[in-house]
């Protein structure tokens, strides 16, 4: 009887282990697809499909939830209409909130909740969503409390100072200070140079803007590579054309 019980218990543990491995394998496959979306435009949707399938059997999988939040943020960024963008941002918010409920100390759950909320707020209009602006600020501060050198959050914080009007706390010099600190932490995070160039363009300091845009083009190991290929390098070239002769 004991021998049979041990056999059953062993089989049960094996099944649990295999299921965990299957879930991890699927998530790794999804992440690889997302990280190589610059090689195939279908990779993003396929990555989302795999992660959503994973949640059917593992609804509390933290990584699947916050990565889906990131993926829907990315899909929204390239969606053709305001309605489609908001739909994707809201899905991103929902997945991130579920992740936060599972682990309130998850840096990336809070980050992607903030990123989707901030993008949706900007799309709706800052003055019509002041409560959301305050929440975005709180979430950025929380992420930086959990991870003080998180350059993604520093970039977001700098963008808040860049986007907000002065009466709501906007401060271009503060934005520059934060971005330069972030570049010192991670000089290969390419979006930082785009953000810094945008601040200088807003200040009509085109010489510094050109300098940082050209930095984007000469990075040897930019990351995330997909973002660099799809967004950052093309945006740098576009901005250089726009400020040519200024």
What's the pLDDT at 22?
62
Q: Give residue 9's pLDDT.
A: 40
pLDDT at 18: 34
- What is the pLDDT, as a whole number, of residue 14? 36
Q: What is the pLDDT of residue 25?
A: 87
pLDDT of residue 36: 97
What per-residue confidence (pLDDT) applies to 126? Answer: 77
CA-based nearest residue to 54, from 88, 87, 31: 31
Q: What are the domain boundaries of the chain? A: 43-125, 149-246
Tell me what pLDDT residue 140 has: 98
Q: Which residues pair with 223 in a beta bridge?
A: 189
Q: Tens of pLDDT along 46-78?
A: 999 999 999 999 999 999 999 999 999 999 999
- Phi then psi for 225, rounded to 5 degrees? -60, -40
Classify domain 43-125 by CATH architecture.
Alpha Horseshoe (1.25)
Q: What is the pTM of this model?
A: 0.89
Domains 43-125 and 149-246 in one fold: yes
Look at residue 130 in the predicted model and tell me its pLDDT.
Answer: 82
User: In the chain, which stretches have pLDDT less than 70?
Assistant: 1-23
Question: Among the residues of the chain, which ranges form H helices?
Answer: 2-35, 43-57, 62-77, 82-102, 107-124, 130-146, 151-163, 172-185, 191-202, 206-218, 225-227, 233-242
For domain 149-246, the CATH architecture is Alpha Horseshoe (1.25)
């Amino acid at each position: 009887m004991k021998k049979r019980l041990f056999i059953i218990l062993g089989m049960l543990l094996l099944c649990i282990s295999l299921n965990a491995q299957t879930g991890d394998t699927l998530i790794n496959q999804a992440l690889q697809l997302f990280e190589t979306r610059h090689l195939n435009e279908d990779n993003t949707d396929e990555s989302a499909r795999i992660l959503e399938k994973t949640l059917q059997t593992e609804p509390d999988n933290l990584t699947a939830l916050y990565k889906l939040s990131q993926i829907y943020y990315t899909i929204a960024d390239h969606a053709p209409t305001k309605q489609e963008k908001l739909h994707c941002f809201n899905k991103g918010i929902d997945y991130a909130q579920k992740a936060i409920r599972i682990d309130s100390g998850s840096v990336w759950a809070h980050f992607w909740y903030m990123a989707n909320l901030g993008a949706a707020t900007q799309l709706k209009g800052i003055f019509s969503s002041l409560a959301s602006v305050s929440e975005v600020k709180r979430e950025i501060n929380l992420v930086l409390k959990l991870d003080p050198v998180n350059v993604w959050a520093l970039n977001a914080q700098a963008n808040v100072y860049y986007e907000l009007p002065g009466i709501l706390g906007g401060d271009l010099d503060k934005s520059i200070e934060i971005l330069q600190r972030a570049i010192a932490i991670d000089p290969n995070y390419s979006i930082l140079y785009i953000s810094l160039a945008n601040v200088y363009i807003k200040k009509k300091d085109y010489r510094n803007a050109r300098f940082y845009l050209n930095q984007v083009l000469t990075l040897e190991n930019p990351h995330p590579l997909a973002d660099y290929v799809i967004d950052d390098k093309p945006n740098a070239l576009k901005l250089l054309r726009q400020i040519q002769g200024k």
